[in-house]
């Protein structure tokens, strides 16, 4: 005889999602006003934060943040104008706005900001910058933004494929090749790297035009590292320029090696793929040292940028302190001025002088890359 076993069930209280104090439309409108006020200070339409926010319906929601940035915005504008760089227009467009309320009442608003700036001396070709930002709002009854940061340096994006586990476990996964490819080969034609009109030329053992075209095509691609600028340059040199790696799989800390390799994970660890790389592939200061030791090309400072050529690599030292902090690729030359495309804040054809004048004491080295190891 089988006795019936009484069934039991376990229940829990329904989870109540957090609710933001303001609607998505209100946050969007406030940030749109804030970006217009930043543009007014950048172009000189207004000379104070108070003037830029006067009469604006959402001013109370962002005036604190704008005031905190006022000195830097005005100081940068004066520094640029001293070098003849005058912005006559600046527009910023918000997209993909996501409101993320927290349990403490604070709110993070994630949004993609597409920015276009027009210089007086080249109005037909505005500079383009697209960045995903996180704005943090206080948890008060009348929320105000308390800060912002680059979302791509704060988040890690996973692919939808089987390689997502490998990304979490081992690091980033290459975005521009088939996930089934376990080895990398230098492409031998423009079509192999997705370029339609690249003009490949004989320049040592690297194509400057290929490096530049790759950087322009991928300037707004997703980041693979929280600090992605040097990885972006390395990939432009490798995939676009055809530059060969050096010291593959050897001491990753050595500034005599430059490499990144892709590997498959064993099934018992979940499968997928992961990368190993040298510090020179992803760290600006290390890559500059590597090129200084192993490239035969000339090195110009920003004061001699008229000597630069498309496909050169630029390193920046913010404020003149410590080592090299940032890297990019020269993707345009016009009237003796160099224009740079880069990652972190994704930029396409940003004037080199704008970078240099963004912070007092900043300077740059422009490398003509001519590999000596092959």
In the predicted structure, residue 176 carries a pLDDT above the cut 50: no
In the predicted structure, residue 175 carries a pLDDT above the cut 60: no
Instruction: Give the confidence band of 359 by pLDDT, cuts at 50, 70, 90.
Output: confident
For tokens 């303001």, the residue is 22
In the predicted structure, residue 154 carries a pLDDT above the cut 80: no
Helices (H), 44-158: 49-53, 59-82
Look at residue 38 and give its three-state secondary structure: helix
Look at 157 and 368; give whichever has higher pLDDT.
368
* Per-residue pLDDT at 271: 59
* Per-residue pLDDT at 274: 79
Which among 217, 283, 24, 90 is positioned nearest to 291, based on CA atoms?
283
* Per-residue pLDDT at 138: 85
Instruction: Give the confidence band of 249 by pLDDT, cuts at 50, 70, 90.
Output: confident
Please report the DSSP string for 358-372 in residue order.
Answer: TSTT-EEEEE---BS
Do residues 305 and 337 lie in contact, with contact meaning Cβ atoms separated by under 8 Å? yes
Look at 83 and 292; give whichever has higher pLDDT.
292
Task: Please state, in angstroms and rounded to a whole number, the distance separating the CA atoms of residues 244 and 239.
Answer: 10
In the predicted structure, residue 15 carries a pLDDT above the cut 50: yes
In the predicted structure, residue 343 carries a pLDDT above the cut 70: yes
For residues 159-180, give the mean pLDDT: 41
Q: H/E element holding 132?
A: strand 127-137
Lowest average pLDDT, out of 145-154, 167-176, 320-329, goes to 167-176
**Highest mean pLDDT pick, 101-105, 144-148, 247-251, 330-334:** 330-334
Task: Please state, in angstroms and rounded to a whole number, the distance separating the CA atoms of residues 260 and 172.
Answer: 11
For tokens 């003796």, the residue is 336
Look at 183 and 374; give whichever has higher pLDDT.
374
Rg (CA), the chain: 24
* Per-residue pLDDT at 185: 31
For residues 350-374, give the mean pLDDT: 92
Share in percent of the chain as helix, strand, coil (round to 5): 30, 25, 45
* Per-residue pLDDT at 144: 84
């Amino acid at each position: 005889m089988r006795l019936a076993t009484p069934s039991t069930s376990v229940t829990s209280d329904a989870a109540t999602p957090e609710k933001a104090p303001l609607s998505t439309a209100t946050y969007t409108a406030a940030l749109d006003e804030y970006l217009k006020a930043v543009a007014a200070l950048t172009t000189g339409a207004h000379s104070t934060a108070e003037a830029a926010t006067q009469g604006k319906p959402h001013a109370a929601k962002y005036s604190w943040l704008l005031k905190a940035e006022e000195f830097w915005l005005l100081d940068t504008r004066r520094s640029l104008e001293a070098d003849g760089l005058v912005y006559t227009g600046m527009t910023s467009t918000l997209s993909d706005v996501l409101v993320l309320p927290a349990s403490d009442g604070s709110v993070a608003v994630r949004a993609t900001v597409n920015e276009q700036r027009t210089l007086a001396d080249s109005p037909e070709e505005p500079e383009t910058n697209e960045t995903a930002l996180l704005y943090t709002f206080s948890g008060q009854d009348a929320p105000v933004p308390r800060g912002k940061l680059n979302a791509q340096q704060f988040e890690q994006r996973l692919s939808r494929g089987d390689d997502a586990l490998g990304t979490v476990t081992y690091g980033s996964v290459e975005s521009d090749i088939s996930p089934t490819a376990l080895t990398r080969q230098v492409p031998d034609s423009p079509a192999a790297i997705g370029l339609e009109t690249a003009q490949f030329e004989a320049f040592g053992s690297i194509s400057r035009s290929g490096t530049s075209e790759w950087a322009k095509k991928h300037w707004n691609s997703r980041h693979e590292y929280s600090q992605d600028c040097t990885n972006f340059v390395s990939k432009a040199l490798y995939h676009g320029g055809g530059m060969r790696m050096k010291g593959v799989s050897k001491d990753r800390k050595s500034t005599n090696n430059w490499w990144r390799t892709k590997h498959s994970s064993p099934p018992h660890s979940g499968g997928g793929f992961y990368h190993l790389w040298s510090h020179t592939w992803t760290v600006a200061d290390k890559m500059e040292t590597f090129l200084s030791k192993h490239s035969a090309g000339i090195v110009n400072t920003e004061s001699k940028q008229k000597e630069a050529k498309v496909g050169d690599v630029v390193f920046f030292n913010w404020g003149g302190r410590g080592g090299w902090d940032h890297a990019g690729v020269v993707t345009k030359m016009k009237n003796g001025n160099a224009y740079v495309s880069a990652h972190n804040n994704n930029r396409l054809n940003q004037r080199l002088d704008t970078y240099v004048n963004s912070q007092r004491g900043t300077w740059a080295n422009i490398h003509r890359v001519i590999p000596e190891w092959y």
